[in-house]
A and B are shown apart, each in its own frame.
Chain A
């Protein structure tokens, strides 16, 4: 850690409101995409708790299965799902814009990469769903 002693200065700081982003759709898009990360973490915490209860045995896991039938649990997870979908769709746009794919001399258009990404997502989802239910 380097310590630098700076003279006291008065720094201009533009006042920012908590809702600076609501008026412009591009900013709304940006904040929703960034905020989705918080819901990714919430989901991970729910999974960690579920696995911990599974590790604790059939009794605790049975109480977990009874608890998740509550409407509040389902409501929370509908919100998590909405942000998960925001993450998936926005990531397919971001990632395909950030990584150009060249085939010979031609560069694949980013919309084609985005659609390919979404198709791959659907295919993987079906596969994972099959393992979760029938595996």
Chain B
């Protein structure tokens, strides 16, 4: 907990940056990649392996995706850590905080690894 207290300014900065980044970038990614493409609203070669591999092969796209996903994950953790207390748990700071940040950190590492490795 002391460790997390020391990290507070960094976590707060990530909350704020991630909130803005997710607000600006998330809807278009969900809509195009996860709804429009599966429903076949675009030409098949707009999202096949070759197209996806060419996009993800570009270093700028890799950097963009890391800057999109990592702060977004820490932004979400900042709110998720409070959700259990707002809904069911007693309203004191508890175990949810380190768990939320640990999950965010693990997912952030996983995200960077797969972004670097893909395609």
> Quick one: which of B61-75 are within 8 Å of A by CB?
61, 65, 69, 72-73, 75
For A, the interface residue count at a CB cutoff of 8 angstroms equals: 54
For B, the interface residue count at a CB cutoff of 8 angstroms equals: 61
Residues on the A chain within 8 Å of B82, using CB: 34
B95 at the interface (CB under 8 A from A): no
Please report whether the interface of chain A is mostly helix, strand, loop or mixed according to DSSP. Answer: helix
Please report whether the interface of chain B is mostly helix, strand, loop or mixed according to DSSP. Answer: helix
Q: Which residue of A lies closest to B111 (CB)?
A: A48
- Contact for B80 among A37, A43, A51, CB less than 8 A: A37
Residues on the A chain within 8 Å of B119, using CB: 54-55
14 A-B pairs in the complex with CB atoms less than 8 angstroms apart: A16-B88, A18-B87, A41-B103, A43-B30, A48-B69, A48-B111, A54-B56, A55-B117, A74-B34, A74-B38, A81-B31, A92-B23, A95-B19, A121-B24
Residues of A within 8 A of B (CB): 1, 13, 16, 18, 31, 34-35, 37-38, 40-41, 43-48, 50-52, 54-55, 58, 61-62, 65, 68-69, 73-74, 77-78, 80-81, 84-85, 87-88, 91-92, 94-95, 117, 120-121, 124-125, 128-129, 131-135
